[in-house]
Structure 1
Amino acid sequence: MYSFTPIGVCAQKIIFSISDGVVKDVAFSGGCSGNLQGISRLVDGMQVEEAIVKLRGITCGGKITSCPDQLAKALETGIKKQAG
């Protein structure tokens, strides 16, 4: 299980796991509950690299990032930690 503190978005924390290259158990603290539950369910069971490609670079309003973009960054961090 990984914990990531996003920057520049409403969500305060992203918790997730990666098992055999697959995203599992994504949960956000804070932010827009409905949208973040939707994102969490959509990426559950997805290959980590596919999720990163789909989410990276999404912006929110005038911000240069978004909760999906921060999830991509969290997943990238998780992969690096697994690689050791």
Structure 2
Amino acid sequence: MQHFDYKPRGVCPMRISFDMEGDKVHNVAFQGGCNGNLQAISRVVEGMTVEQIEGYFKGISCGGKGTSCSDQLATAVRMAYEQKKA
């Protein structure tokens, strides 16, 4: 299992951290942001694949920002997965 940290853009959390085993995501944690909602997202995505997370969360916008915490998570896991493959 490999650990990743991602600095999201355009949202409240300062960092998203997670572990990845193959294409499955584990132990998602957000630093900052709406604690209750982000804990829920973290629990929901536990064990999901990168593709599943993208399917559920990619493109969601919050407050007219053009992105959201969940959209940034989808971006983060895709970037990490592609980095692992390289």
CA RMSD of aligned residues (A): 0.7
Amino acid at match of 2:9: I
CA distance in 2 between partners of 1:2 and 1:26 (Å): 10
Percent identity (aligned): 46
Distance 1:49 1:7 in 2: 21
Q: 4+ residue stretches of structure 1 with deviation over 4 A? A: none
Counterpart pick for 2:29 among 27, 30, 42: 27
Q: Which residue of 2 aligns with 1:78?
A: 80
| Deviation (angstroms), 1:20 | 2.4
Aligned length: 84
Question: Structure 1, residues 27-78: CA drift from partner, whole Å, max 9, x if none?
Answer: 0000000000000000001122111121100000121000000000001111
Structure 1 residue runs without a partner (length 5+): none
Matches of 1:20 and 1:69, distance apart in 2? 21
TM-score normalised by L of structure 1: 0.96
Deviation (angstroms), 1:21 = 1.5
CA distance in 2, matches of 1:73, 1:24: 15
Following superposition, the deviation at residue 23 of structure 1 comes to 0.8
Paired residue secondary structure (2:14): strand
Letter in 2 for 1:74: A
Aligned to 2:50: 48
